[in-house]
Structure 1
Amino acid sequence: MDPSAARVPHPGHFDADPSGYEAGRPPYPDALWARLRALGVLRPGLHALDLGAGTGQATGPLLTAGLSVTAVEPGERLARRLAERFPAARVLVARAEDVELSRAGYDVAVAATSIHWMDLDVVLARVREALTSDGRFLVWRTEFGDPTASLTPFRERVGEIVARRAPVVDVRRRGGTAELARALTAGGLFAVEEIDVTRWSVDLDEAGVRALFATFSDWSEAEVAAAGAAARDLGGTVREHYVTPLIALRAI
């Protein structure tokens, strides 16, 4: 594949290699879970809905906190791995737009690095119907690269790799956190309770860079190899700075 060719993002990318996705994606930072505990949404006994659950990066901590979890994942292979990892979860193989859910059956709904794949016009109404009258909808995502951090040599190399691509329109993009919050509340079904941003870092060796970047739906194999080579050239281990914005919403 031409390393300069644009790769159109597609959610089916993740289902091709569930074990690679599981191994490559770092866990969400402890500070995020501490914030959720402070918000009172990690109380034992609550019923949680995890939309676009992947291999359980959010499902696992929710179960550990004592919540019962219904995990919705459209990828059959991902869902199978999710069920293997977390047999206590109820796993539904479906898109968030199509899944059959109990009316007012959940205290908490979560979309963890998945909302950008969903049709908000459909999903917001379905989530609101599935939540109790005082339910919460928690939306967060990991942004791989912190624009406020100093530009590292590795990030310079990543920028050079991306700059060589042909232009492509990414239909997932909904702007920044403020724009996403407006989109989530535009229908009058939810109100923003809090917006919180966690900044964190992780050290990755060449294998870790390759494993993580291979999970990105818009990265080609050649680009992943180039990112791994950059880590090797820069001493073997690089420190990556990431951002996890959280939008906590209350049902109206």
Structure 2
Amino acid sequence: MAGPLHFDALAETYQQARPPYPEALWDRLRELEVLRPGVRVIELGAGTGEATMRLLGAGADVVAVEPGRALAARLRLRCPSARVVIARAEDAAMGEAQFDLAVAATSVHWLDLGVVIPKLRRAIVDDGHLAVWRTAFGDPRTTTPFRDRIDAIVARRVDEPVRPGPGELDTEGWARLLSSSGDFTVVHVDEFRWTIDLSADQVHGLFRTFSNWTASEAQAAAEAARDLGGTVTEHYVTPLILLRRT
């Protein structure tokens, strides 16, 4: 299983290939009034700014923490109004009561929560929030010919890489884990199901960024898309967990 800096070696591909988060997610964050003009946000594992751009666009003041230097360089170019800190979340100086909202977008499974959660509690104001979300690339409720081909590629693995933490769609498990220290309590859980059309080249780029996929497997996924007409419709799920500082 590759580590989080796997993405740093593929920074250009990551920026080009990763799809945006669904619009319904941003609507919900605004409805819950945690994302609003002037809100002070610390984002952990910001990557090349997939979430950062939307946070800034909503009027937030963002400190983006990213350990990968190549990713951070692209983040600075893409989001010049964000303050970018090159560091692991476990090592970053966060201060006390500096932020209204912490965000971990497709990064929480890389964090040492035993270290990060207490730091966030100190860094966030009373009644501030922690928002955690990620995209599961593949909705188990939906079967497609392309997903059948993907399952066949995965089935050929001798050793299946194991991601740290609960399963990708074990939203309840993540909610329990994130609140287990008592520093935060869960106040809202949601799941957004959405679709996206991807060309074979886009499939190759996206699957190349997955830390548990090899280069040859990503190529096989692209070939599957070409065999199925060159463009495939993918069905994805983005779970959201919102917690309040206790």
TM category (shorter chain) comes to: over 0.9
What does the per-residue CA deviation read over 1:204-249, in whole Å, with 9 as the maximum and x for residues that have no partner? Answer: 0101100110110111111011000000000111000000000000
What does the per-residue CA deviation read over 1:83-104, in whole Å, with 9 as the maximum and x for residues that have no partner? Answer: 1111100000000111001210
Question: SS of 1:91's equivalent?
Answer: strand
TM-score, normalising length: structure 2: 0.97
1:128 to 117, 121, 145: 121
Q: Which position in structure 2 is the counterpart of 1:193?
A: 187
Instruction: Supply the AA of the counterpart residue of 1:165.
Output: R
What does the per-residue CA deviation read over 1:7-63, in whole Å, with 9 as the maximum and x for residues that have no partner? Answer: x23211100021110111000010000000101011111100110000001110000
Q: How many residues align?
A: 244
TM-score, normalising length: structure 1: 0.95
1:57 to 29, 50, 61: 50
Q: Which position in structure 2 is the counterpart of 1:160?
A: 152
**Equivalences for residues 41-190 of structure 1 within 5 A:** 41-149=34-142, 151-175=143-167, 176-190=170-184
- Alignment partners' CA distance in 2, 1:91 and 1:166: 40
Establish whether residue 219 from structure 1 lines up as the match of residue 178 from structure 2.
no
Instruction: Supply the AA of the counterpart residue of 2:125.
Output: T
Gaps of 5+ in 1: 1-7
Percentage identity across paired residues of the two chains: 55
What does the per-residue CA deviation read over 1:126-171, in whole Å, with 9 as the maximum and x for residues that have no partner? Answer: 111110011000000000000112x100000000000111124524
- Alignment partners' CA distance in 1, 2:36 and 2:216: 44
Superposition RMSD in Å: 0.9
| CA 37–101 in structure 1, closer or farther in 2 if over 3 Å, else same | same
Q: Which position in structure 2 is the counterpart of 1:21?
A: 14
CA contact (8 A) 1:63 1:69 kept: yes
CA contact (8 A) 1:210 1:227 kept: yes
1:236 to 230, 234, 237: 230
> Greater relative contact order: 1 or 2 (C-alpha under 8 angstroms, separation 6 or more)?
1
Instruction: Supply the AA of the counterpart residue of 1:172.
Output: P
Gaps of 5+ in 2: none
Instruction: Supply the AA of the counterpart residue of 1:58.
Output: A
| CA 227–169 in structure 1, closer or farther in 2 if over 3 Å, else same | closer
CA contact (8 A) 2:42 2:65 kept: yes
Name segments (4+ residues, structure 1) moved above 3 Å. none
Instruction: Supply the AA of the counterpart residue of 2:147.
Output: R
| CA 243–171 in structure 1, closer or farther in 2 if over 3 Å, else same | closer
CA contact (8 A) 1:136 1:249 kept: yes
Q: Which position in structure 1 is the counterpart of 2:197?
A: 203
Question: SS of 1:17's equivalent?
Answer: helix
CA contact (8 A) 2:41 2:62 kept: yes
CA contact (8 A) 1:205 1:237 kept: yes
Instruction: Supply the AA of the counterpart residue of 1:190.
Output: F
| CA 234–168 in structure 1, closer or farther in 2 if over 3 Å, else same | closer
- Alignment partners' CA distance in 1, 2:212 and 2:231: 23
